[in-house]
Structure 1
């Protein structure tokens, strides 16, 4: 099953609202350089019963790396710096722009995903982390527990918004 950009985005928004998901993803981003969108795609694939190997996750990471390095990461940094120096409305506008940029990152990964052969079994969490040179067993216990919970809570029956 091919995942659409809208399915990916809606799924990401739902996961982002789960307790601890945002904090864990942002800690992985800040401490290990793992783009949250790559982690979200690994989780979405898991829900679809689709699995990738470490090298394939590296390809997905690389597909959006230049965009993130040149555009998204600097904008994130600027937004974080502006947080306490802008009126709330202006800061919210910055967040909206960042979301548009996040969607672009997701689109770049989906485009690369369409050229990959997915497997029917595997371990997306480990493969995704190792693609970023992160040893899952070296992560702090609470972070690994939260990641494991997110992947284990994957529902085999997809909500209507994800059923293609």
Structure 2
């Protein structure tokens, strides 16, 4: 397994655990602020994991670049599919709804790979935590991030 594939797998597993512990907050930010949950969880991951290579704080501009890299995929595929899944929820059997969730998760995984590919090509140049830098794109600041209290797995 290559280093990038292994990192992709590690981050995906970590983000899955963190999402499970922070689901309500993630969905609230997604629905009310249009925060991308993949980027939110990646920012959290980068803030709480240590890297022997040095600091990994990315700037607001770098987070904007990452958001732009997956924007078309999200707008054309993930968001419309998510709306369809939510609309269909009351009309589907449990196993059918789960299948829809699985497809959405597969699309989210593709988005995360795109993010990681972009991330591998940029050097960190931020001055704040990644959560603060990313969420500032949505008008949220230090106090908002601190009040969120995202749990770490």
Deviation of the 1:121 alpha carbon: 6.2
CA deviations over 1:111-133 (Å, ceiling 9, x no partner): 110111025863111101012x3
Q: CA separation of 1:145/1:75 partners in 2, compared to 1, >3 Å: closer, same or farther?
A: same
CA deviations over 1:55-76 (Å, ceiling 9, x no partner): 1110111111000000000000
Matches within 5 A, 1:67-82: 67-82=73-88
Structure 2: distance between partners of 1:130 and 1:107: 23
Match of residue 125 from structure 1: 131
Match of residue 19 from structure 2: 16
Q: CA separation of 1:120/1:72 partners in 2, compared to 1, >3 Å: closer, same or farther?
A: closer
Alignment TM-score, normalising by the size of structure 1: 0.79
Matches within 5 A, 1:17-96: 17-18=20-21, 21-49=22-50, 50-96=56-102
Please, which of 4, 14, 39 is the counterpart of residue 7 of structure 2? 4
Q: When you count helix as a share of all residues, which structure comes out higher?
A: 2
Structure 2: distance between partners of 1:44 and 1:107: 15
Measured on the aligned residues, the alpha-carbon RMSD in Å equals: 2.3
Residue 112 (1) aligns with residue 114 (2): no
Structure 2: distance between partners of 1:43 and 1:86: 34
Whether the 8 Å CA contact 2:58–2:130 is kept in 1: the answer is: yes
Runs of 5+ consecutive residues of structure 1 not aligned to the other structure:
155-164
Deviation of the 1:87 alpha carbon: 0.7
Q: CA separation of 1:102/1:138 partners in 2, compared to 1, >3 Å: closer, same or farther?
A: same
Residues matched between the structures, number: 145
Runs of 5+ consecutive residues of structure 2 not aligned to the other structure:
51-55
Alignment TM-score, normalising by the size of structure 2: 0.85
